[in-house]
Chain A
Amino acid sequence: MNEFVETLLDLPWQVGDPKPAYDVVIIGAGGHGLATAYYLATRHGITNVCVLDANYIGSGNSGRNTTIIRSNYGIPESVAFYQHSLEMYQQLEAETGSWIMHSTKGQIWLAHSVSTARTERTRALMNEACGAKTDYIGPEEIKRLCPQIDLTGGGRYPVQGASYHHEGATARHDRVVWTYAQGALRNGVHVFQHTPVTGLLKDGDRVTGVQTPKGNISAGVVLSAVGGHVSTVAGWAGVRLPIRTHALQAFVTNAYAQEFAPIVSSNDLVFYISQTPRGQMLIGAEYDRQASYRTSTSYSYLQACSAKATTLFPFLSKLRILRSWAGICDVSTDFSPILGHTGVDGLMISTGWGTWGFKAIPAAGEQLAELIATGTAPPLIAPFGLDRFAKEAAMADPSSAGTR
């Protein structure tokens, strides 16, 4: 975070170095780590908590996502979890008194072929049955919601219909991080930036703390809320994870002066687009195929993605790409998150967030805080434990990435 931004925020940093011991140490001060600390303090009165980050708060994937909040997932357990998160986002400003620039926009998930239209009809029915408000809409309604769209799809991708997720929303990602940081700090949680965790302390098979350049910190529970580098952290405890790290790229154009109201995803073209509060058009697609820890963007991605986006939205050809970036995502092999116990005493985990982590921040933080406080996983996240793979109960969700 630059010094100018820091002067605008009321973040009551504690002074000095970390204490030698805490009840809970959280590795990673992104949205998930800070939200868990916030809910530990506010819901369960556990304030002897320390959150550590190798860089500044929100410098990882919390600062690199495309800020979309939605709950139209592919399996009932996921819909219930993300719908809870979506509703918590709607209440977050009222709860914290802090503006996160939450805006309900609606998400249109387009189909350009008969078979995809069938997929979208199924998605709408399934989501509606599980509690996520979704309807199947036709081209006329799509044109009304999003006048910029070329319904012929450049002659090659005619719009057949779409599933319309009414409560799809966006929020400013940095503000979400700052809101949780502020809430946690005000409740006595310690947050240390630029304090990388370099190893875990162990007593026999049990994890008892973390090693940092500022000294060893012992902890009753260590929670890894690490993004792409999570396999390294788990490896210190001998835990194998079903995680492969991929780079996900995205970019924004310069400002578009008109309003572009909804979030639009295309199932067949595999990209999605929304407008930021600054008016920039924010465009993303799938993560890079090869496993990688490299956060640079590629010309070929920008070219391919722009070609797809201008096919549906010809006005984009008059804009210019302003900025592109990439985050390294912890993609799980069944495309669902992994939350809770690791099988090693004293170590818990919040990972597998792949390309769907931002929308889950409030619910995952709240539910993990309850798990840490009570020792048992609440029903909403119980299906998402790491032990599901050994039980042959993987939560395969083919529609977890926003483009499929």
Chain B
Amino acid sequence: MLWIECPNCGSRPFEEYRYGSVFPVTPDSITDPDARNIDHAWMQDNIQGVTQERWFHESGCRRWFTATRDTTTDVFLD
């Protein structure tokens, strides 16, 4: 079972958490404002590797926190 470190509650089972999303990064090369909006609305970085994400400890302290996770292994990094 996957365990996730909550900054408030310590190590708790995966099922207590809700995945928020990754921090989206629109490339600087997209300069047109409309194209930037469309990119922000629809496109995904879909990183294979280490990502910075938001998680919500739904069944615990009910607070959001930022976590670093490797999407190829689901291992949470410090």
Contact = CB atoms under 8 A, between A and B. Distances in A.
A and B together in one complex? yes
Interface of A: 229, 231-232, 240-245, 289-294, 296, 298-300, 333-334, 389-390, 392, 394
Interface in B1-24: 1-2, 13-15, 18-19, 22
Contacts of A240: 27, 39, 43
Contacts of A242: 42-44
Nearest to A391: B38
B42 A292 contact: no
Contacts of A298: 1-2, 14
Main secondary structure, interface of A, reads: loop
B43 to A, nearest CB: 4
24 contacts: A231-B44, A232-B48, A240-B39, A241-B43, A242-B42, A242-B43, A244-B44, A245-B48, A289-B18, A289-B19, A290-B19, A290-B74, A291-B19, A291-B71, A292-B71, A293-B48, A293-B71, A296-B74, A298-B2, A300-B1, A333-B44, A334-B42, A389-B41, A389-B42
Contacts, number: 63
Interface of B: 1-2, 13-15, 18-19, 22, 27, 35, 38-39, 41-46, 48, 51, 53, 69, 71-74
Contacts of A392: 38
Contacts of A289: 18-19
Nearest to A394: B42
A244 B19 contact: no
Given A294-B73, A298-B1, A299-B1, A390 B15 contact: no
B46 A243 contact: yes
Given A291-B19, A294-B74, A298-B2, 19 more contacts: A229-B48, A231-B45, A232-B48, A241-B44, A245-B46, A291-B22, A291-B51, A291-B71, A293-B48, A294-B73, A298-B14, A299-B1, A300-B1, A300-B13, A300-B15, A389-B38, A389-B42, A390-B38, A394-B42
A232 B53 CA distance: 20
A333 B48 contact: no
A311 to B, nearest CB: 18
Given A289-B18, A299-B1, A300-B14, A241 B46 contact: yes
Contacts of B19: 289-291
Contacts of A241: 43-44, 46
A196 to B, nearest CB: 14
B78 to A, nearest CB: 18
Most buried by A among B18, B42, B74: B42
Contacts of A389: 38, 41-43
Give me the 4 closest cross-chain CB pairs, A-B, nearest first: A231-B46, A290-B19, A242-B42, A240-B43
A396 to B, nearest CB: 11
Contacts of B13: 300
B44 A243 contact: yes
Most buried by A among B1, B48, B69: B48
Given A241-B43, A293-B71, A394-B42, A231 B1 contact: no
A93 to B, nearest CB: 37
A294 B71 contact: yes
A293 B39 CA distance: 22
A242 B45 CA distance: 8
B18 A293 contact: no
A291 B1 contact: no
A207 B45 CA distance: 21
Nearest to B46: A231
A244 B53 CA distance: 14
